[in-house]
Structure 1
Amino acid sequence: MSTLIYLAGIVLAIVAVLDIVKKPIKTSGKIIASVILLLTSWVGLIIYYLYAKDHLTDWFK
């Protein structure tokens, strides 16, 4: 069971980072957002998918 949760976290993190890389923002913003997302694990994923996904382009213009 814990292996499934671990794998789900890895898959969601990869999908989120790929989504960040595809956004039309500066490279430095992509790096900062990706590092923060990966360092905060599940909390970062939840915040990204519920709030930050729609606001990244405004934050890193």
Structure 2
Amino acid sequence: MLFGDALGTAASLRDYPSTDTLYAAGLGLRYQTIIGPVRLEYGRNLNPRPLDPSGTLLFSIGYPF
């Protein structure tokens, strides 16, 4: 599965709706088990800020809340 994500950030309510827009793209695998889905996903930060990671790996078991 391929995915894309976007996020608008603002340091205060005066700056709302956003002063920065961040984008990510990635891919993931999902497998349905008896206890729920097992997910392994990796997202790549397309425009990282100076202290942001270049990407994130996620592993989860079960349904998100």
| TM-score between both structures, scaled by the size of structure 2 | 0.24
Structure 1 or 2: larger helix share? 1
* Bigger relative CO (Cα 8 Å, ≥ 6 apart): 1
Larger Rg over CA atoms: 2
| TM-score between both structures, scaled by the size of structure 1 | 0.24
